[in-house]
Amino acid sequence: MKQPQLLTPEWEDYELIDSGDFEKLERFGRCITRRPEPQAIWRKSLAEEEWRRMATASFRREGGSEERGKWSLAPRQPEQWHISQAIGSGRITLRLGLTSFKHVGVFPEQAENWNFIFESVKALGKESAQEGTRPKVLNMFAYTGGASLAAAAAGGDVTHVDSVKQCITWARENMEASGLSGIRWVVEDALKFARREVKRGHRYDGIILDPPAYGRGPEGEKWVLEENIAEMLSLCGEMLSEGGFLVLNLYSMGLSAMLAKSAVNQVIPNPSMEQFGELYFTDRAGKSLPLGVYYRCRK
pLDDT at 127 over 90: no
Mean pLDDT of 142-162: 97
Angle between helices 225-239 and 257-265 (to 10 degrees): 50
Domain boundaries along the sequence of the chain: 5-298
> In terms of Cα–Cα distance, which of 186, 207, 182, 181 is closest to 120?
207
Binned at pLDDT 50, 70 and 90, residue 3 comes out as confident
Residue that wins the pLDDT comparison between 211 and 63: 211
Mean pLDDT of 119-144: 90
**How would you write 129-162 as a 3-class SS string?**
HHHCCCCEEEEECCCCCHHHHHHHHCCCEEEEEE
Binned at pLDDT 50, 70 and 90, residue 17 comes out as very high
Binned at pLDDT 50, 70 and 90, residue 147 comes out as very high
The CATH architecture of the domain made up of 5-298 is 3-Layer(aba) Sandwich (3.40)
Radius of gyration of the chain (CA): 19
Model-wide pTM > 0.75: yes
CB atoms inside a 10 Å sphere around CB 219: 9
What percent of the chain lies above the pLDDT cut of 70? 98
Max CA separation in the chain (angstroms): 61
